[in-house]
């Protein structure tokens, strides 16, 4: 059984730092670096938003040509460096260039991540200062690095897992993520840097990250908005001399990576801006998996569904209505809906059925209200039309979400 920890201790050949560079006015940590002592193979998944930030454009290009020579990732907060024109591209390149000079590597071996306000120009004095300071504090303080990439997050998000091969060799996978708003299920939906000290061929690394992202970061919703900066990067430096090169080893690596990514992705939902509830949306009986996913997304992104959860209102009609507008052909006479406390994939044996045969069931409003008041709640909708299934994790929508986003720039 894989044990995913909420801590990172030491991953061979990697050093990190999280420092205050001056990008945030409040003195909080705002700049992080993740550096490998040796070149890494690297993989990435990126936002599918057609408005892409400068660092996203830069990283996508570098992974096309230098995916087996990456040495570092540099992350700034406070400024997204998005919608900043050619000047923004230059600043992303300059950030990588300065970091490369300190590390002693080619500038193309440095990837860049940014997060913050869209449309503002990056303070390069602070960036240069951040690089200089970070290089003085390189070590294994992953908690500080995770804090340094936060924006509206209320807590850092980090995780690690140790994997053992059949011959007893062990390697680690670890990662940090940030995200609390502008979270919608499409590619990365946040920022993340994941590392492993195993030696992994680049094509295998990219396949594993794509699979893991599809089962984790692509299944979370806070508000339905996709960012311009969404990126998840995965670096493998082989510092343990543990080589992964068989289909079985790829499967084990992908399984462990997926478990780690699920942990980080779910933490993003739990820390959603203003969130008070963690909600699991399970769909089964859809025509196919793609249809199930569309239905799950429609429910998970519905403001009416999310506000009902915040108000502790077991308003099943909003859930059924959201499914009905998903674009999937459904027959309400075949649909069945349950709710349950906690997190699970199928709770029909222990949960409360609210809807069946096109009508509400004879359920207890008191019982429904008690379930909906829980901090973790699950929905199970059986469409009765096939074998398609999907699960998406979301949260409620509260007054605080409006407060946080109503004056984000100020």
Could you give the residue numbers annotated as active site? 189
214-252 CB burial, b ≥16 within 10 A, e <16: bbbbbbbbbbbebbbbbbbbbbbbbbbebebeeeebbeb
Do 68 and 236 touch, CB atoms closer than 8 A?
no
- Per the DSSP assignment, residues forming a β-bridge with 275 are none
Q: What is the 3-state secondary structure (H, E, C) of 132-187?
A: HHHHHCCECCHHHHHHHCCCCCCCCEEEEEEEECCCCCEEEEEEEEECCCCCCCCC
Do 297 and 392 touch, CB atoms closer than 8 A?
yes
Distance CA 142, CA 175 (A): 9
Handedness of CA 139, 145, 146, 147 (dihedral sign): positive
Helix axis angle for 202-214 and 247-270, nearest 10°, is 40
Please list, in sequence order, all residues whose beta carbon lies within 8 angstroms of the beta carbon of residue 137, skipping any fewer than 6 positions away: 17, 19
Distances (CA, A) of 279 to 235, 272, 379: 31, 11, 8
Distance CA 401, CA 408 (A): 11
Distance CA 165, CA 250 (A): 11
Backbone angles phi, psi at 399, to 5 degrees: -60, -35
């Amino acid at each position: 059984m894989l044990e995913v920890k909420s801590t990172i201790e030491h991953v061979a050949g990697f050093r990190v730092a999280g420092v205050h560079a001056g990008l945030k006015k409040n003195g909080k940590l705002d700049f992080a670096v993740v550096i490998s002592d040796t070149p890494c193979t690297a993989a990435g998944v990126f936002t599918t938003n057609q408005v892409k930030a400068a660092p996203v454009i830069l990283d996508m290009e570098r992974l096309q040509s230098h995916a087996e020579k990456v040495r570092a990732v540099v992350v700034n907060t406070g400024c997204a460096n998005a919608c900043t024109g050619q000047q923004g591209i230059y600043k992303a390149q300059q950030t990588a260039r300065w970091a490369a000079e300190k590390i002693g590597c080619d500038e193309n071996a440095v990837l860049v991540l940014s997060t913050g306000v869209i449309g503002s120009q990056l303070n390069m004095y602070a960036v240069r200062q951040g690089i200089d300071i970070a290089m003085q504090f390189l070590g294994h303080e992953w908690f500080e690095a995770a804090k340094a990439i936060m924006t509206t997050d209320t807590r850092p998000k980090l995780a690690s897992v140790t994997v053992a091969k059949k011959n007893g060799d062990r390697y680690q996978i670890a990662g940090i993520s940030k995200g609390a708003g502008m979270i919608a299920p499409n590619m990365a939906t946040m920022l993340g840097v994941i590392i492993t000290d195993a030696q992994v061929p680049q094509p295998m690394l990219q396949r594993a990250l794509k699979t893991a992202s599809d089962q984790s970061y692509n299944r979370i919703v806070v508000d339905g908005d996709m960012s311009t900066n969404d990126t998840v990067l995965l670096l493998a430096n082989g510092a343990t001399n543990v080589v992964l090169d068989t289909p079985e080893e790829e499967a084990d690596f992908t399984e462990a990576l997926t478990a780690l990514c699920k942990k980080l992705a779910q933490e993003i939902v739990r820390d959603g801006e203003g969130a008070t509830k963690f909600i699991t949306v399970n769909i089964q009986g859809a025509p196919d998996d793609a249809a199930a996913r569309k239905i799950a997304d429609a429910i998970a992104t519905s403001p009416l569904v999310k506000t009902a959860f915040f108000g502790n209102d077991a308003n099943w009609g909003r859930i059924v209505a959201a499914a009905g507008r998903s674009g999937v052909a459904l027959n309400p006479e075949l649909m069945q809906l349950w709710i349950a406390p906690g997190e699970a994939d199928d709770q029909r044996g222990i949960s409360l059925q609210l809807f069946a045969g096109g009508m509400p069931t004879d359920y207890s409003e008191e019982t429904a209200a008690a379930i909906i008041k829980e901090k973790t709640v699950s929905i199970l909708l059986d469409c009765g039309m096939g074998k398609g299934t999907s699960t998406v994790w979301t949260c409620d929508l509260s007054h605080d979400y409006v407060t946080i986003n109503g004056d984000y720039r100020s």
